[in-house]
Amino acid sequence: MGGVEERGFLRGSDRTGQECAAGSAPRPACLAAVPRGALAAPPAMPHFTVVPVEDKHRAEYDSVEGLSWVDYREPAAAPAAGDSYDTVSSDGHGNHKENSPFLNSSEAGKGGDYYDRNLALFEEELDIRPKVSSLLGKLVNYTNLTQGVKEHEEAESTDGSKKKVSKSPSMGTLMGVYLPCMQNIFGVILFLRLTWMVGMAGVLQSFLIVLLCCCCTMLTTISMSAIATNGVVPAGGSYFMISRSLGPEFGGAVGLCFYLGTTFAGAMYILGAIEILLTYIVPQAAIFHPSGAHDASSAMLNNMRVYGTVFLILMAVVVFVGVKYVNKFASLFLACVVISILSIYAGAIKSIFDPPEFPICMLGNRTLSRDQFDVCAKTIVKDNITVASKLWELFCHSTNLTTENCDEYFVMNNVSEIAGIPGAASGILKDNLWSNYLEKGEILEKAHHPSVDVAGQKNSLHLYVLSDIATSFMVLVGIFFPSVTGIMAGSNRSGDLKDAQKSIPVGTILAIVTTSLVYFSCVLLFGACIEGVVLRDKYGDAVNKNLVVGTLSWPSPWVIVIGSFFSTCGAGLQSLTGAPRLLQAIAKDNIIPFLWVFGHGKANGEPTWALLLTALIAELGILIASLDMVAPILSMFFLMCYLFVNLACAVQTLLRTPNWRPRFKYYHWALSFLGMSICLALMFISSWYYALVAMLIAGMIYKYIEYQGAEKEWGDGIRGLSLSAARYALLRLEEGPPHTKNWRPQLLVLLKLDEDLHVKYPRLLTFASQLKAGKGLTIIGSVIQGNFLETYGEAQAAEQTIKNMMDIEKVKGFCQVVVANKVREGIAHLIQSCGLGGMKHNTVVLGWPYGWRQSEDPRSWKTFIGTVRCTTAAHLALLVPKNVSFYPSNHERYNEGNIDVWWIVHDGGMLMLLPFLLKQHKVWRKCKMRIFTVAQMDDNSIQMKKDLATFLYQLRIEAEVEVVEMHNSDISAYTYERTLMMEQRSQMLRQMRLTKTEREREAQLVKDRHSIARLESLYSDEEDEGDPVPENIQMTWTKEKCDAEKRNRSSAVGSFRDLISIKPNQSNVRRMHTAVKLNEVIVNRSHDARLVLLNMPGPPKNTDGDENYMEFLEVLTEGLERVLLVRGGGREVITIYS
């Protein structure tokens, strides 16, 4: 129990010094009160010597922690109330006030001088990061109790448990893992079907079946042990292991598979119990009786359905009323199984010297069903007179000894009796080594027995023992596999184990070894002791309707009949107990939303609704009514579950996840893969169509959870797998730039946020999603102005806002928000550093700075032009959607219209590629593409048109081609006027900015609106044009200052007068002429186009002309509703070659 000294160091040391002198303080406190130098250098303090004599371990802690120490003794030995040690994290009874053993900030406020001298360097962090001593003190009492203890009251685990959850885990390997696993593994198949399997497959193939199944479970156990010992596994066994290792999607899929497997196992156990009851205990209890010789099987199935349903209802009521009774009887059921198995061994040993008497009646080499006659002979002597036996009457339909109406086979062959159980010393084993598979309806025959092979009458078939289903190796694997399931029983109880990480591997592996040895020895004993035809007789018809295993057992067949009946009932009860809890655990994880109702139950946590659903699903199994049909179904679900356990272990091992540190060391990824392969093979061997159905169910659940977007993050291995795959792919991409054929726009979209951190132009995202159509890389970037340390929270909020908007606009990509002192710098950082390795952007999407003319602040358009220059310098393509608010949303459809491309200069073919990519999206799909190019007077426009059409044909792009001729014309007065206005405006703004007083006032205004300016615009550069200005401008007016102000104003007025007489620059006039002429042509041809794509001219090399550049762009795009200005990145992006 951890106790931490609360007193401050100085006060505490003074007081403790006095207590030490008086002898009242404990010795460790005295030691800690002494400065380190005092102990190390006695000469400095000759009158104060401390000799540590006792309680040495406490002194060791003190030397590390100063006065703050942890009491590692048992709670009973903790200090008394009056002691000088006080506890911080305990409530006085030795119990922690906290559930979590991790970070905690509550200690910080408990005493002013909580931090001591030794940890002064870390004292600011101790609020959020506890000292190691505090952490260890809490971990001492942290146990691995199941996570669901409160909810599940005394919740038994998935396969049912033998005890209720106690307050402190106390079970060892034997009681907690070994016996529960044994009880779950041994089941109905051992008693009802193993002899039949040995008879059909022969001893050798039966060995192979058992070996395959046991190898599968052994390898799965090795994988499960590794997962179970890698940290604390809560109750819920395989579901928790897989969901926490492979993620919620796999966890949900496998959890439901395991649930369905356990539920069908319940149905199988109930069917087994009914089969034992109606065939061997009280056959007269049957409700349906066969009306004819051939409908015996259908009557039996109907009996199974009725009784099975009754049993199921009774068991569900028992589980509903009192689960604790099921668990109390668990040990009784296990005792039944053990006694039954021991009786088999006892009988086999006894058969060596005294085989039991179970004669079989043979007609030729055919086995007769013994329940319809008593004497195995054609005639009997009664009062010295030979009369027809019951057998003669059955075959000849008369009591007189004439053979006219007799079955020909009966007449031609002799009746003989052979021993059903010759015993282990008889050498029968060599006859039973090989397989003897039968088709449905075939008569059981003894090979090498004398017989005359003639056809008999069909109406006599019911007198023989017939095969009721077609058998093969594959069928037998599916039927046998459920008898090796149940290996999860130990891991399901991990919450009750004293040392789960040691007990689970040891107990489970021992249980599997034990059960495998029992199965192998039983196969051998059955083959060595029992006659082949008896082994192949599924229901014991040849031995007077006795259970075939029962005929071998000692002292009586009833030992096994009664024992197996009770053990099957118990196993059924436990399945009905465990399955609802598993469903409840899945429902409470809330990864499959429609299952939420099954997470609720009675007030004490009993899963009522889950029990109801389990009973309904089990009823489906009971309606199938055949044990041989139900067994392969649950085999599939268990195999699917085991497959994923192996996959989880293999993935974790191969990825070398940092958290993968199992205590169980005897695992290897190759073993897990082998286990996985065997599971997959067994699924398809036993029933390929069931395997496909099980995989389809698991796949549908997986996709459903993925589609719903499971909001769980369990640090699963699949996430690690994705990370490894991504890393591998990125390293491959790094090898070189993409080939022109693979080039696609990888976008960096620069977004603008308003004052409330909302996206100002969401249509930019819409445009990005339409251009990408879900392919390639999209990075959404934004810049927040300020200091990173102060505005980190705002950046997080902005990032979340952008992510929400990306979800709305269905943009698949990444978001990056940068905090920078100047917006222009932030954009430059984004352009340089976004992306990773080969996954970097090659195209920047930039919004147009609306209202730049109206704003006296030049920073908005300066940022825009700066960004254009940055992208050009980085050799990136640039897209500027103008009037982006008018762009279509994702829900609109253009059923007609044109996308017009104005190809004025060639810059790598971006203009051709973009419309093609846009037309992949449903919004633009029906638009037609038109390409315009401009011809000068000295160009051959007809030849140009032909060449362009050929080029487009080779590019496989369908588009109309037009060549527009631009005649040389004089510069119009309008052009001259526009240029003049542009230059006057820029000159005027320059003059205004030079006026000092105006500048200072503007600076004050900016200062007052600082919070707005900080978030003002992505495209406004907040850098000051001059020196920083003081916060308040206080002006004292002297005569000199007044004169200077007057002079400034008069000079400003003079400069305004100069504006009127300004003459425009000739190069500006030329540029304006081009812009005006092009704009006329474009508006004339494309005024009704849905979208106009246009080459974007580059900014001037001389930064003085930046403002004029903005004006040229405005003139160029005037009168067009939707314009996309495109600037290539200086490389070819489209090719005519394949």
Per-residue pLDDT of 924-972, as tens digits, reads: 888 888 988 877 766 777 888 888 888 888 778 888 888 887 766 655 5
Using CA atoms, how far apart are residues 501 and 233, in angstroms rounded to an integer? 9
* pLDDT at residue 993, rounded to an integer: 56
CA 215 to chain centre: 28
- Tokens in use for 729? 């792919």
Is residue 847 a contact partner of residue 750, using CB atoms and an 8 Å limit?
yes
832 has pLDDT over 80: yes
What would the DSSP string read from start to end of 178-215?
IHHHHHHHS-HHHHHTHHHHHHHHHHHHHHHHHHHHHH
Percent of the chain having pLDDT more than 90? 18
What angle (nearest 5°) sits at the alpha carbon of residue 80, between those of residues 75 and 83? 125
* pLDDT at residue 152, rounded to an integer: 39
Q: Whole-model pTM?
A: 0.69
Average pLDDT on 767-796 reads 85
Highest mean pLDDT of the ranges 74-88, 470-484, 565-579, 851-865: 470-484
Average pLDDT on 1083-1090 reads 86
* pLDDT at residue 398, rounded to an integer: 82
For residue 327, what pLDDT band results from cuts at 50, 70 and 90? confident
Average pLDDT on 139-162 reads 40
Using CA atoms, how far apart are residues 258 and 159, in angstroms rounded to an integer? 10
Using CA atoms, how far apart are residues 693 and 555, in angstroms rounded to an integer? 45
For residue 19, what pLDDT band results from cuts at 50, 70 and 90? very low
For residue 129, what pLDDT band results from cuts at 50, 70 and 90? low
For residue 459, what pLDDT band results from cuts at 50, 70 and 90? confident
What would the DSSP string read from start to end of 303-346?
HHHHHHHHHHHHHHHHHHH-HHHHHHTHHHHHHHHHHHHHHHHH
pLDDT single digits (tens) 1001-1014: 555 665 555 444 44
For residue 113, what pLDDT band results from cuts at 50, 70 and 90? very low
For residue 812, what pLDDT band results from cuts at 50, 70 and 90? confident
Using CA atoms, how far apart are residues 1109 and 1128, in angstroms rounded to an integer? 18
Lowest mean pLDDT among 3-17, 434-448, 763-777, 949-963: 3-17
160 has pLDDT over 70: no
pLDDT single digits (tens) 54-81: 444 443 434 333 333 444 444 444 444 4
Highest mean pLDDT of the ranges 260-274, 284-298, 964-978: 260-274
Average pLDDT on 662-675 reads 92
Smallest CA-to-CA distance from 694 within 768, 747, 635, 772 is with 635
43 has pLDDT over 80: no
For residue 126, what pLDDT band results from cuts at 50, 70 and 90? low
* pLDDT at residue 34, rounded to an integer: 44
Percent of the chain having pLDDT more than 70? 71
* pLDDT at residue 525, rounded to an integer: 92
If you ran DSSP here, which 8-state letter would residue 888 be given? Answer: P
68 or 313, which is more confident? 313
* pLDDT at residue 72, rounded to an integer: 40
pLDDT single digits (tens) 597-623: 888 877 777 788 899 999 999 999 999
969 or 588, which is more confident? 588
Is residue 346 a contact partner of residue 353, using CB atoms and an 8 Å limit?
no
For residue 772, what pLDDT band results from cuts at 50, 70 and 90? confident
Average pLDDT on 48-53 reads 49
For residue 529, what pLDDT band results from cuts at 50, 70 and 90? very high
Contacts of residue 296, defined as CB under 8 A and 6 or more positions apart, other chains included, come to 290, 462
Q: Backbone phi, then psi, for 647, in 5-degree steps?
A: -60, -45
* pLDDT at residue 510, rounded to an integer: 94
179 or 1023, which is more confident? 179
Using CA atoms, how far apart are residues 152 and 588, in angstroms rounded to an integer? 11
* pLDDT at residue 669, rounded to an integer: 93
Smallest CA-to-CA distance from 142 within 210, 96, 198 is with 96
245 or 654, which is more confident? 654
Average pLDDT on 223-235 reads 78
Using CA atoms, how far apart are residues 972 and 993, in angstroms rounded to an integer? 32
* pLDDT at residue 1019, rounded to an integer: 41
793 or 160, which is more confident? 793
531 or 976, which is more confident? 531
683 has pLDDT over 70: yes
Q: Backbone phi, then psi, for 368, in 5-degree steps?
A: -95, 145
Is residue 152 a contact partner of residue 146, using CB atoms and an 8 Å limit?
yes
128 has pLDDT over 90: no
633 has pLDDT over 50: yes
* pLDDT at residue 620, rounded to an integer: 93
481 has pLDDT over 90: yes
For residue 1060, what pLDDT band results from cuts at 50, 70 and 90? low
Strand 778-785 with 747-750, pairing: parallel
* pLDDT at residue 213, rounded to an integer: 94
pLDDT single digits (tens) 847-882: 888 877 666 666 777 888 888 889 888 888 899 998
